[in-house]
């Protein structure tokens, strides 16, 4: 087995499962929980309605629908949706002009297909997660998370009281994405590529209401092993009293971003004060470390976590490989000496 393939297999086995947690050998499909745009849902299952940013976009010189889609959502292929949302204004997708105002708000829904399995009911909050996924914790070097979902991918969860800094940080999401991009380019230029962003609002959906902020990227684990990459997605949901953050990763073609989006969107706050009139979820002691400070105040730094986690994991795997190599060489040398002429 080639070393790079072995490393990839070892990297995927990073979660320690908690005993007593039931598991079912079933996993989510590779196309994870797509957002369905256009038309009304006529099925029997519950759905979550997500609306993208509602501010108009003013076309700049040199813009095209493809460039605008790539700029806003990280994928030029979304130009088809952009054209459809502005069909009354854009009669020819290849013909737009500076100063034109485009509606970039889109409303779609995600079928809440995992709701029937119960998910995680934690009293003050709840959320869905893929049926058959397990719950545990994970550690690599100093990177640690004590509430982790694992299946086709891994998602570390961080549920805490809403920080005072978080709303100023995400209130201008476009500026926020520029800060995230700048941070990644400055600190992890060789490790990060394909950085993409999403922002949705969930209004008038009871305890399921809130704002969703998502960024995803490809993480290149080592320049010595170019084929070793992980797909990483960070999701944040801000409700009235809680901010729920989810850091997901996978090493195969599983849609970890769709899964993180689903789990993040399904998060619900169940507001009820204690006997002393206070409401807090910080007493759960949920954590993800390292909690590295960065320009995005109040938001967890998924890049620093990925750096420590994947680098430490790779170094440990390479260390084990060297130890096994030395043991193999010792065994071979012993056999050669025993079979040499004149030796017993």
Q: Which CATH number goes with the domain that contains 90? A: 3.10.350.10
| Domain end position, chosen among 78, 109, 140 | 109
Say if residue 267 is in the same domain as residue 297: yes
Distance in angstroms (rounded) separating the CA atoms of residues 256 and 145: 18
CA distances from 8 to 88, 101, 137, 222, 287 (A): 49, 47, 20, 12, 26
Domain range enclosing 301: 3-30+119-311
Say if residue 82 is in the same domain as residue 180: no
Averaged pLDDT for residues 22-40: 61
Say if residue 209 is in the same domain as residue 253: yes
Q: What is the pLDDT of residue 12?
A: 63
Tell me the pLDDT tens digit for each residue of 172-211: 998 999 999 999 999 999 999 999 999 999 999 999 999 9
Say if residue 72 is in the same domain as residue 16: no
Does some domain include residue 248?
A: yes
Query: Residue for token digits 């993040």?
Result: 264
pLDDT at 45 over 70: yes
Say if residue 102 is in the same domain as residue 198: no
Q: What is the pLDDT of residue 1?
A: 47
Of 1 and 198, more confident: 198
Say if residue 162 is in the same domain as residue 265: yes
Tell me the pLDDT tens digit for each residue of 54-90: 668 889 999 999 998 887 766 788 888 788 888 888 9
Say if residue 70 is in the same domain as residue 150: no
CATH code, 26: 3.40.1000.10
Packed helices 302-338 and 3-12: angle between N→C axes, nearest 10 degrees: 130
Distance in angstroms (rounded) separating the CA atoms of residues 287 and 145: 6
Averaged pLDDT for residues 241-245: 97
Say if residue 224 is in the same domain as residue 298: yes
Does some domain include residue 336?
A: no
Tell me the pLDDT tens digit for each residue of 97-106: 999 998 877 7
Q: Which of 46-60, 212-226, 253-267 has the lowest mean pLDDT?
A: 46-60
Of 99 and 340, more confident: 99
pLDDT at 19 over 60: no
Tell me the pLDDT tens digit for each residue of 214-223: 999 999 999 9
Say if residue 40 is in the same domain as residue 143: no
Say if residue 47 is in the same domain as residue 65: yes
Q: Contact, 67 vs 142, CB < 8 A? A: no
Does some domain include residue 67?
A: yes
Count of domains in the chain?
Answer: 2
What pTM, to 2 d.p., does this model score?
0.81
Does some domain include residue 339?
A: no
Please name the residues in contact with 131: beta carbons below 8 A apart, sequence gap of 6 or more: 24, 26, 28, 114, 117
The DSSP code for 272 is -
Number of neighbours of residue 190 by Cβ within 10 angstroms: 8
Does some domain include residue 23?
A: yes
Of 120 and 23, more confident: 120
pLDDT band at 118 (very low <50, low <70, confident <90, very high): confident
Averaged pLDDT for residues 111-121: 91
Here the tokens at position 249 are 């990763």
Number of neighbours of residue 233 by Cβ within 10 angstroms: 26
């Amino acid at each position: 087995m080639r070393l790079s393939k072995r490393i990839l297999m070892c990297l995927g086995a990073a979660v320690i499962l908690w005993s007593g947690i039931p598991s079912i050998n079933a996993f989510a499909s590779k196309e994870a929980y797509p957002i369905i745009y256009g038309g009304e849902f006529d099925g029997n299952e519950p759905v979550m309605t997500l609306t993208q940013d509602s501010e108009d976009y003013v076309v700049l010189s040199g813009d095209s629908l493809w460039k605008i889609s790539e700029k806003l959502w990280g994928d030029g292929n979304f130009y088809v949706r952009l054209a459809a949302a502005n069909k009354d204004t854009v009669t020819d997708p290849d013909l737009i002009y500076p100063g034109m105002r485009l509606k970039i708000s889109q409303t779609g829904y995600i079928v809440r297909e995992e709701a029937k399995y119960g998910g995680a009911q934690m009293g003050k909050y709840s959320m869905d997660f893929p049926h058959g996924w397990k719950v545990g914790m994970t550690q690599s070097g100093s990177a640690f998370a004590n509430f982790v979902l694992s299946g086709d991918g891994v998602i570390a969860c961080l549920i805490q009281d809403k920080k005072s800094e978080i709303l100023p940080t995400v209130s201008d999401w476009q500026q926020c994405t520029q800060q995230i991009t700048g941070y990644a380019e400055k600190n992890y230029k060789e490790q990060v590529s394909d950085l993409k962003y999403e922002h949705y609002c969930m209004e008038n959906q009871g305890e399921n209401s809130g704002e969703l902020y998502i960024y995803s990227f490809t993480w290149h684990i080592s320049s010595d092993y170019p084929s070793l990459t992980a797909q990483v997605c960070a999701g944040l949901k801000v409700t009235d009293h809680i901010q729920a953050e989810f850091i997901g990763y996978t090493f195969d073609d599983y849609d970890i971003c769709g899964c993180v989006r689903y789990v993040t969107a399904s998060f619900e706050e169940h507001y009820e004060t204690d006997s002393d009139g206070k409401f807090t979820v910080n007493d759960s002691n949920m954590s993800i470390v390292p909690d590295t400070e960065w320009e995005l105040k109040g938001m967890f730094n998924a890049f620093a976590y990925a750096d420590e986690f994947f680098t430490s994991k790779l170094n440990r795997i390479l260390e084990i490989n060297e130890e096994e190599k030395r043991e193999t060489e010792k065994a071979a040398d012993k056999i050669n000496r025993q079979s040499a002429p004149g030796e017993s």
